[in-house]
A = this chain, B = another copy of it.
Amino acid sequence: MELFYSSDIHDGIVRLDPEESGHCVRVLRHRAGDEISVIDGTGPLYRCRLTGDNPRGAVAEIVETLPAFGAHPYRLTLAVCPTKNIDRYEWFVEKATEIGVDAIAPVIGDHSERKVLRTDRLERLVLSAAKQSLKGSIPRILPPQSVRELIAGSGPETLRLIAYCDESLPQRTGIVEALADCRERDITVLIGPEGDFSPAEVAAALEAGFVPVHLGPSRLRTETAALTAVQAVYLSCI
């Protein structure tokens, strides 16, 4: 099954933009009357019948709406400091989308070597990964913010975890134990940069009510740690 994306769906009529229209009509040779599947990124999958096969502006009508298509039973924000090598961050974003995440929050820590991040590439990546893995909901890419802003902006109704490496800091719980009963909950996991969080950032997070967790005995790169956190939430809820 191939999914198309549209941001222009009104009154049961779906319009594809020139890029998606070209892919649908020119590449995949769909013609008026064919059935296609469309997402708008908010959750549902629309089964549609193509009514206009213009390769620069295809139009379809919705036949059936399947709600929460490919959804997962939790709402997860992964707040991760961008890696020096941006390919590794993009790899994480792609795999996290495939497994199941709702928002990616790029955060800049005191020890971050990379202080800026272009989010337009990540936007394209989550769209493509969501279509590829047949998900009706496309993860949001939040604007980059500092670790402190992320901490200050989250409330106690969310299960908030901070994973850090420094073993001299307060006792950490294994992430799986910290995720007991996480089904249907809002969850935020905060993952630091290559140089770990600063002690001041850890203190701010603990003060705000974040639960300190560890990710087990293996030394994981930032992007692997972030994916391990996604997997821990996913596996805890299945």
List residues of chain A with CB under 8 Å of any chain B CB.
70-73, 95, 98-100, 133-135, 174-176, 214-221, 224, 227-228, 231-232, 234-238
Q: Are B176 and A218 in contact (CB under 8 A)?
A: no
Bound CA–CA A220/B231 (angstroms)? 12
Instruction: Report Cα–Cα, A20/B100, bound state, in Å.
Output: 41
Contact B232 A218 (CB under 8 A): no
A181 CA to B231 CA in the complex, in Å?
19
A213 to B58, CA, bound (A): 42
How near does chain B come to A177, taking the closest CB pair, in angstroms? 9
**Chain B, residue nearest A135 (CB):** B218
Nearest opposing residue in chain B for A95, CB measure: B224
Q: B176 and A98: CB pair below 8 A?
A: no
Closest to A215 in B: B238
